[in-house]
Amino acid sequence: MTAPAVGGATSEVGALRTVLLHRPGAELRRLTPRNNDQLLFDGVPWVRRAQEEHDAFAAALTARGVEVLHLDRLLAEVLAVPAARAELVAAAVDDPRLGATLKRTAAAHLADLSPEDLARALVAGLAHDELPGARGLSFELMRRGDFVVPPLPNLLFTRDSSVWVGDQVAVASLTMPARHRESTITAAVYAHHPRFTGAEQLYDASLEHLEGGDVLLLAPGVVAVGVGERTTPGGAERLARRVFARGLARTVLVVPIAQQRATMHLDTIATMVDVDAMVMYPAVADSLVAWTVTADVPPDDDDTTDLVVRGPAPFLEAAAAAMGIERLRVIDTGLDPVTAEREQWDDGNNTLALAPRLAVAYERNTVTNAALEAAGIEVVPIAGSELGSGRGGPRCMSCPVRRDPM
């Protein structure tokens, strides 16, 4: 008999019980002015301070009764499993840059490492001068600072590589090349770690691009999916079919967002802070629209269900109708256009709800946080001057594994 799933979430605001984080480490030390753009960071962070900020974030969650799981620790534990080890070594060297000779050399080196050392190498990467006995044309033509296995500094943002919908986990299909390998790590943890025995997988990295930052669980049975720079219409459609077929949702709202860095995910412009309230970037509040997707006939197949698409309609109206409420309250990021733009860029919209009317937010967004407090939302402020250099806030840095049902 299959063991019951160990996680689940039906909303963004049910009391948070278990969360998956990744403490930044040596992978951030790999960032330089030469490669930070390619690795999707807007600057070169002060790593020690970023770690201190992240430790304070984890401590704030623990103090509120949230169980914190650390991805790097889970990874080291699953690398003691031969099947997981083989999968992740193969994924690490599956790179056409390497050529056959360097690929074999790198794979042999990684395979000989202890689980802990292999976990560090998979996350922090493997540089040209860190591979003993390396040879081959590709290796000889590499510069000393090049990576045989690139680092994964964005692993910090655990929300993107997986999201729980009901009692099933969707492993994301990440769009940007610098992030592709993150999904292999997340998938291996869910597949091989005993903590997740019995967890059923809803989505996987082989499918159309879909990222967790674009998925908002507005209410039980209602899922919003942003479509923009990172998630494609095909990914939203595939997720809709699957949640309908598995009885995880009755309505999916597909929300187009601008395809640009500042609004890379839906959760960069709006996040839930109460059962009927969200903090939202005011510049988009009036223009944001949604297509309402349903299945009139009870679906019986993951990928061939006929969908009914209606719209577009104003997002706030469509969301309220799908949620069965009169209106969705909006708390603005900032009180004037300049402040709003600054605080949206600094992840003022990217809050993590710990329970209804209780949310973690970056302390620097003082105007937005004051608006939240005035609206009856208790704010747990955390520092993020260095963590934010990768453009992500408390929600981006956390994957809720288990929330209480609403």
Residues 6+ positions from 12 with CB-CB distance below 8 Å: 216, 217, 218, 271, 272, 353
Angle at 276 between CA 241 and CA 291, to 5 degrees: 35
- Which secondary-structure segment (H or E) carries 308? strand 308-314
**137 φ/ψ angles, rounded to the nearest 5 degrees:** -60, -45
Both tokens assigned to 190: 């869910």
Bridge partners (DSSP) of residue 314 are 289
Report the candidate in 21, 36, 46 with the shortest Cα–Cα distance to residue 386.
Answer: 46
- Nearest-angstrom CA–CA distance, 230 and 37: 16
For 53, 68, 341, 356, the CA distances from 386, given in Å and listed in that order, are 8, 21, 19, 28
Pairing state of beta strands 67-70 and 16-21?
parallel
Residues 6+ positions from 153 with CB-CB distance below 8 Å: 24, 27, 28, 30, 31, 39, 40, 41, 390
Whether residue 396 lies in the annotated active site: yes
E runs forming strands in 177-307: 200-203, 215-219, 222-227, 251-256, 270-274, 277-280, 289-294
Pairing state of beta strands 358-362 and 378-382?
parallel
Both tokens assigned to 165: 């919908």
Both tokens assigned to 202: 């809803």
Quote the DSSP letter at residue 110.
H
Judged by DSSP in three states, 237 sits in: helix
Bridge partners (DSSP) of residue 402 are 8, 18
Both tokens assigned to 134: 């390396």
* Annotated catalytic residue, options 39, 74, 295, 396: 396
- Nearest-angstrom CA–CA distance, 249 and 235: 16
Angle between helices 180-192 and 71-78 (to 10 degrees): 60
Q: Assign residue 297 a region: left if phi > 0, alpha if psi is -120 to 50, beta otherwise?
A: beta
Q: Which residues are catalytic?
A: 396
